[in-house]
C-alpha cells in the first residue's frame, strides 16, 4: 500500500503541560482511519499539526512521503481538505459562495472564480442534496444543513485526502450517520477524529487510540475496541456486540 500520511514521534507542549508525547501514525492510500480517545487526550491537537494550524517539529509529519514543512500552504490545500465540526458563527455568505471557497487553492488571491469552478461547486452541492439551497444564506441554515454545505466545500476542493476534526459532533443522530455514510462511499483517503465511538467502529478500517498524548493501541476496530480498553481508557463499562463483523458498543455505565 502507498503511504499518504505519516506522523513520526510527534510531541507538543504548552508551558509545562505535555499535550502530545511521541505520537506516531500511518495512513495508507484509500484507508479510512480514525483517532479516538477521551476528552483532553490530544486528538484535535494531533490533527492540527497535519492540517497546519500548528507547526510540527521538522520531519515529524509527512504528506505523501514529503516533510510537511517542505510543502507550500497552497500545495497542501490541493492535497488535503479539512472538514471540522460546524460552529454557530453566522457567515455572511450564500451557500454557493461557501462551497466556492473550496476552489480558492487553485487561484491567485485576486482571481475570480470561473465557470468551471461554479460547475464543480454546483455538482458538489448536488452530491450532498443541497443544490436547491445554493442561493440561501449559509448562516440561516440548520446545523445539519451547514455541515452538508461544508462537506460540499471539501468535495469541491478536489483533494485525494480528507481530514476530519469531529465533523459530526453536536449533530443529531440522522445527520451523524448520513454524513459518515456519504464519506465512506467517497474515493478518498480519510483521517478523522471521532467523539462517537460506534461511528468510528462502523466506518473506519483502522483505529488509533490516543490517551494522555500517547498512542496506546492501534489496529482494526474488532482488535482495539474491547471491554478492557473501554474500561481502562474511557472509564466505562460496556458490552461488545458483533454487528456485521464490526464491534458495536452497548454502554452500561461508568467505573
Q: What residues does each domain of the chain span?
A: 3-224, 225-255
Which pLDDT band holds residue 86 (cuts at 50, 70, 90)?
A: low
The span from the CA of 86 to the CA of 183, in Å, is: 16
- Under 8 Å between Cβ of 247 and 201: yes
Cell numbers linked to 7 = 506522523
Structure confidence at residue 44 (pLDDT): 93
- pLDDT, tens digit, for every residue of 98-113? 999 999 999 987 889 9
pLDDT at residue 90, as a whole number: 58
Average per-residue pLDDT in the chain?
A: 92
DSSP assignment letter at 37? -
Q: How far is CA 253 from CA 7, 202, 236, in A?
A: 34, 21, 6
Separation in Å, CA 233 to CA 56, 125, 151, 206: 26, 39, 31, 18
Dihedral sign from CA coordinates of 190, 238, 177, 136: negative
Which candidate, 152, 159, 6, places its Cα nearest to that of 78?
159
Q: Is the pLDDT of residue 154 over 80?
A: yes
Q: Tell me: domain 3-224, CATH 3.40.50.300, correct?
A: yes
pLDDT per residue over 212-249, tens digit each?
999 999 999 999 999 999 999 999 999 999 998 999 99
- Cα–Cα distance, 3 to 61 (Å, whole number): 12
- Euclidean distance between CA atoms 202 and 215, whole angstroms: 21
pLDDT score recorded for residue 215: 97
What pLDDT does 208 receive? 98
Amino acid at each position: 500500500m502507498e503511504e499518504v500520511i505519516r506522523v513520526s514521534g510527534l510531541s507538543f507542549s504548552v508551558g509545562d503541560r505535555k499535550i502530545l508525547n511521541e505520537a506516531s501514525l500511518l495512513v495508507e492510500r484509500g484507508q479510512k482511519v480514525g483517532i479516538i480517545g477521551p476528552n483532553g487526550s490530544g486528538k484535535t491537537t494531533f490533527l492540527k499539526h497535519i492540517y497546519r494550524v500548528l507547526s510540527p517539529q521538522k520531519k515529524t509529519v509527512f504528506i505523501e512521503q514529503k516533510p510537511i514543512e517542505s510543502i507550500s500552504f497552497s500545495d497542501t490545500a490541493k492535497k488535503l481538505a479539512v472538514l471540522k465540526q460546524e460552529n454557530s458563527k453566522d457567515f455572511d455568505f450564500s451557500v454557493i459562495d461557501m462551497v466556492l471557497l473550496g476552489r480558492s487553492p487553485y487561484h491567485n488571491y485576486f482571481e475570480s472564480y470561473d465557470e468551471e469552478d461554479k460547475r464543480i461547486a454546483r455538482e458538489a452541492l448536488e452530491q450532498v442534496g443541497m443544490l436547491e439551497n445554493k442561493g440561501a444564506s449559509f448562516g440561516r441554515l440548520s446545523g445539519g444543513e451547514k455541515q452538508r454545505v461544508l462537506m460540499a466545500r471539501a468535495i469541491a476542493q478536489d483533494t485525494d485526502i480528507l481530514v476530519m476534526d469531529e465533523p459530526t459532533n453536536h449533530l443529531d443522530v440522522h445527520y451523524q450517520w448520513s454524513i459518515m455514510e456519504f464519506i465512506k462511499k467517497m474515493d478518498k483517503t480519510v483521517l478523522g477524529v471521532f467523539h462517537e465511538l460506534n461511528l468510528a467502529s462502523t466506518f473506519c478500517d483502522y483505529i488509533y487510540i490516543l490517551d494522555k498524548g500517547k498512542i496506546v493501541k492501534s489496529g482494526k476496530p474488532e482488535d482495539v475496541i474491547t471491554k478492557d480498553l473501554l474500561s481502562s481508557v474511557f472509564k466505562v463499562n460496556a458490552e461488545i456486540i458483533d454487528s456485521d463483523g464490526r464491534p458495536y458498543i452497548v454502554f452500561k455505565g461508568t467505573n
